[in-house]
């Protein structure tokens, strides 16, 4: 994580202070339940919570200094807390292992991060829907393989993005539920030295589910799915960013990123207005997807646990969530202020001499009794003349001058096949599917 691509609320989840606060809550809630079960004195739990009620500053430097000697982060933390609380702190961590604290903490952090990402998605969806409705009937050319295909609307392009990010939201909700599990089960997951009711108590206190069966750690398939979901969201961000980048190309220029007063596009060329935000989003998406493979490789730990996953998660936990949070917010801003040029869209629609209507003519010829092979040949030979003229010729007029075509279709029937509205007649139906009935 670098500050340039981070936002404060998400970053705050991953600070040492935030992590140690969760560690303390886990230890204190566990001690609280152990006291209720008669395993440790009630005074131990009371002492922990009494100290915490004073809102103590967590001395990260002091904990780091202890860890420099112990070479163990959880022991360093417990030692520091004992120095603050006193003798009663000796009852902390009864029957627990370090991973009980570390894994449960990571679950809390990822669940909180998911909540922020879900809020990001909600804001993005709101903006996409508003712009989609604004351009619901703004005609533009649809492209396949980068080549003009048939008419669509710019609103439909945005509706596609809305549906995709709505699916992302559904997946993230499921991934959040899957990752939000607590394990307080001891050294190999057997609860040999800690009652399962302690786990249930800590889980309830932290808003987590209990891990049904753990080893020393929570199974990493949960984490793999979580980060894979973030990777898919990043892919969806890049898809929209790539669309904007293509539409902003000088020879297309159907839409472009907002260019603010005083903004400069190039140190050498004063005329430049580059799609820098969506290019940046493309790079950020690559980074988020890059964290998916290490998460997948963490699944295959040795036996009841090894520590190979730990260094990976110290990187990817904060980096993936902070980067994706920033990217979602940036994309929301891009869509919100996106400059859309309907006149240029219409100009591009018209520039290839009506080729976008070729399929309608093909179908009309087959319905008039011409074989599909002959119909395709007739339309294509005229379409290629238009193509080779770079749109200077008109497909509509060439077809009306082609005796083989007019033997099957009258000039009026040919003209009818060049109606733009025909291609847009089901826009309302599609919008109702995506956004619900108006």
Catalytic residue annotation: 145, 266
Residue that is written with structure tokens 């509205």 in the block: 421
Q: How far apart are CA 120 and CA 128, in angstroms?
A: 12
Q: What is the distance between the alpha carbons of residues 107 and 178, in angstroms, rounded to a whole number? A: 9
The SS3 assignment for 306 reads: coil
Both tokens of residue 123?
């804001």
Residues in the chain, how many? Answer: 438
Query: What is d(CA 80, CA 58) in angstroms, rounded to the nearest whole number?
Result: 9
- Distance (Å) of CA 120 to CA 9, 320, 332: 12, 14, 8
Do residues 399 and 361 make contact, with C-beta atoms less than 8 angstroms apart? yes
Report how far residue 131's alpha carbon sits from residue 332's, in angstroms, rounded to the nearest whole number: 11
Q: Which two tokens stand for residue 219?
A: 């199974």
CA distances from 412 to 48, 374, 396, 400, 409 (A): 88, 21, 11, 9, 8
Place of tokens 């079960």: 37
Helix (H, G, I), strand (E, B) or coil at 14: coil
Provide the 3-class DSSP secondary structure of residue 127: helix
């Amino acid at each position: 994580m670098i500050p340039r691509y981070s936002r404060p609320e998400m970053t705050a989840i991953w600070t040492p202070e935030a992590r140690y606060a969760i560690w303390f809550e886990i230890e204190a809630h566990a001690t609280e339940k152990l006291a209720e079960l008669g395993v440790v004195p009630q005074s131990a739990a009371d002492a922990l919570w009494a100290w915490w009620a004073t809102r103590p500053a967590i001395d990260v430097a002091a904990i780091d200094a202890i860890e420099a000697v112990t070479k163990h982060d959880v022991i360093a933390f417990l030692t520091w807390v004992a120095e603050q609380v006193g003798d009663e702190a000796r009852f902390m961590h009864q029957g627990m292992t370090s991973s009980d604290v570390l894994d449960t903490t990571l679950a809390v952090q990822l669940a909180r991060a998911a909540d922020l990402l879900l809020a990001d998605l909600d804001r993005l969806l709101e903006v996409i829907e508003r712009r989609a409705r604004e351009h619901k009937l703004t005609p533009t050319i649809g492209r396949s393989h980068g080549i003009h295909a048939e008419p669509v609307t710019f609103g439909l392009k945005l509706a596609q993005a809305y549906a995709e990010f709505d699916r992302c939201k559904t997946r993230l909700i499921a991934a959040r539920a899957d990752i939000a599990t607590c394990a307080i089960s001891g050294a190999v997951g057997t609860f040999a030295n800690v009652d399962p009711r302690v786990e249930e108590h800590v889980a309830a206190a932290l808003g987590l589910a209990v891990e049904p069966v753990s080893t020393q750690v929570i199974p990493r398939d949960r984490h793999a799915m979580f980060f894979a979901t973030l990777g898919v969201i990043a892919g969806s961000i890049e898809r929209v960013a790539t669309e904007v980048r293509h539409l902003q190309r000088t020879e297309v220029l159907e839409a472009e990123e907002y260019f603010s007063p005083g903004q400069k596009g190039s140190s050498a060329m004063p005329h430049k207005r580059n799609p820098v935000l969506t290019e940046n989003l493309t790079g950020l998406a690559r980074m988020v997807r890059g964290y998916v493979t290490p998460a997948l490789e963490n699944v295959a730990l040795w036996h009841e646990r090894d520590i190979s996953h730990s260094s990976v998660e110290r990187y990817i936990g904060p980096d993936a969530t902070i980067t994706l949070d920033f990217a979602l917010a940036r994309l929301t801003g891009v869509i919100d202020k996106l400059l859309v040029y309907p006149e240029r869209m219409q100009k591009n629609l018209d520039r290839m001499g009506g080729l976008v209507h070729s399929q309608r003519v093909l179908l009309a010829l087959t319905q008039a009794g011409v074989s599909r092979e002959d119909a395709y040949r007739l339309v294509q030979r005229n379409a290629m003349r238009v193509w080779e003229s770079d749109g200077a010729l008109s497909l509509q007029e060439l077809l009306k001058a082609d005796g083989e075509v007019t033997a099957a279709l009258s000039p009026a029937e040919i003209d009818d096949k060049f109606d733009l509205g025909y291609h847009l007649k089901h826009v309302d139906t599609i919008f109702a599917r995506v956004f619900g009935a108006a």
